[in-house]
Amino acid sequence: MEIHIELATKSKMFCGCKNDPFNAKNPNIYTCPVCLAMPGGLPVPNRQAIEWTIKLGLALGCTIPLFSKFDRKHYFYPDLPKGYQISQFDQPFCKDGIVRVPEGDVRIQRVHLEEDTGKLQHAVVDGKKVTLVDFNRSGVPLVEIVTEPDIRSGDQAKAFLKKLHQIIKYLAISGADMEKGSMRLEPNISVCKGAFDGVLPSYKVEVKNINSFNFVKKAIDYEVSRHIDILETGELPKQETRGYDAANSATISQRSKETAEDYRYFPDPDIPPIRFTKDQIETIKQTLPELPDDKRIRFSQSFGLKDSDIDLIIDRQEHADYFEKCIDVINSTPAFDRVTPYMVAKALINSRGVVRVSETEFVQAISDKLTDLTIDPLILVEACRKITEEHHDAVESYHKGKESVIMFLIGQVKKELKGKGDAEKIKEELLMQLT
Ligand SMILES: [Zn+2]
């Protein structure tokens, strides 16, 4: 799998232009001689982008070599004004990491930094079909993550990508928004017969421009069965690039890629190699937030929650933070001493992450409900009796088999109790009285 992520730095990778292509009001407004490749323009690397790349590498368990450099990757395409892309070839900033997922760990081969290209737009101007180029995106810092061939299924790919996305969001280094193209996914797929012994098949198919984790899963599943069909006829699937067609849940051939392209990589002579000290790497490491895996362990130990509940709470850092602030409120307010972390977790999960009140108000609401639960059982029994007497028709249709009437009766009891009372307890009592 190859994953590209645009970093959310203020400025571009090698010049001072604003890095905000998605919100630019007009094409080519965030450009300068450097990102337009005018003669004499000299690139200066963005320090923040390099630090964030290393931060990401550390979060993925990578080794950070103390020496690195930028290289030129040559190819000709109109969205690449220099005729080459500044990238990293043999000395990436980070290598040899791992992402742990229940479906199977995925090793990270490398994490390197490069610059994004411009964007082509096909249009009709004065009745003529033309292709326009917008360089607002040209030179935006772009991280590429390359995995080892450890992914065996569409499900594993999806789980891995979700985890990776979560880590990137925790680090707050990219919007990682697939709709806006700030996170782009490219699975490379091939099938071999029998157990995989480390030797990759002699072909691979790359599926480009997939913009959701679900589509990645579907594209992989589709490709695997397509390859198996071809392999079983004794043929070898064609080495090519394909696109994903979401409407038909299928992939379509785009261009064949018979031989590996020769990019004529060489070190960029405009950018001196970069050396780090161990202290510098350590300083970046200190800026890492608590990552999802560590948070899961701590939440399990401190709050005694189930893993499936924890996963929902720590899905996003802001949800996890909100949960912890609620716990602080409980611990510092004696009036809330009956509210448990479990109750907060359940209430948060039920709200599906859409909470617009302060932590104190949130805990207060749970505490109020607790009072509901402890309503005098005799009052509850009495209210149920009163309601079943008042609503003969409803009781009758219940006995005739219309079980949904119970919801109506619960509502009436709730009304009688002025909104108090636990719906489950009321239901229990009503059912008892109706039989
Ligand atoms: Zn520029």
Q: What is the pLDDT along the chain (435 residues), one digit of tens a residue?
A: 999 999 999 999 999 999 999 999 999 999 999 999 999 999 999 999 999 999 999 999 999 999 999 999 999 999 999 999 999 999 999 999 999 999 999 999 999 999 999 999 999 999 999 999 999 999 999 999 999 999 999 999 999 999 999 999 999 999 999 999 999 999 999 999 888 888 899 999 999 988 899 999 999 999 999 999 999 999 999 999 999 999 999 999 998 876 667 899 999 999 999 999 999 999 999 999 999 999 999 999 999 888 888 999 998 888 899 999 999 999 998 888 888 898 899 888 888 767 788 999 999 888 887 766 667 778 888 889 999 989 989 999 998 888 889 989 998 998 888 777 778 888 988 988 888
- The residues placing their C-beta within 5 Å of ligand 1, an ion, are 15, 17, 32, 34-35
Cα(359)–Cα(327) distance, rounded to whole angstroms? 9
End-to-end CA distance of the chain: 61
For 18, 159, 359, the CA distances from 35, given in Å and listed in that order, are 11, 36, 46
Q: Check if the beta carbon of residue 159 is closer than 8 Å to that of residue 311.
A: no
Q: How far does the centroid of ligand 1 lie from the alpha carbon of residue 15, in Å?
A: 5
Q: How far does the centroid of ligand 1 lie from the alpha carbon of residue 122, in Å?
A: 23
Candidates 328, 332, 361; CA nearest to 347 is 361
- Helix, strand, coil percentages (3-state) for the chain, rounded to 5, are 40, 20, 40
Q: How far does the centroid of ligand 1 lie from the alpha carbon of residue 34, in Å?
A: 5
Q: How far does the centroid of ligand 1 lie from the alpha carbon of residue 213, in Å?
A: 32
For 162, 187, 210, 252, 282, the CA distances from 3, given in Å and listed in that order, are 12, 8, 11, 20, 26
pLDDT at 226: 96
For 24, 211, 232, the CA distances from 92, given in Å and listed in that order, are 31, 26, 39
For 212, 340, 375, 394, 427, the CA distances from 422, given in Å and listed in that order, are 41, 18, 8, 21, 9
Q: How far does the centroid of ligand 1 lie from the alpha carbon of residue 273, in Å?
A: 21
Candidates 295, 285, 283; CA nearest to 319 is 295
Residue 185, token pair as written in the block:
């996914």
Q: How far does the centroid of ligand 1 lie from the alpha carbon of residue 11, in Å?
A: 9
Q: Pairing mode, if any, of strands 205-208 and 240-245?
A: parallel
Q: How many residues does the chain have?
A: 435
Cα(317)–Cα(169) distance, rounded to whole angstroms? 8
Q: How far does the centroid of ligand 1 lie from the alpha carbon of residue 140, in Å?
A: 9
Cα(287)–Cα(303) distance, rounded to whole angstroms? 26
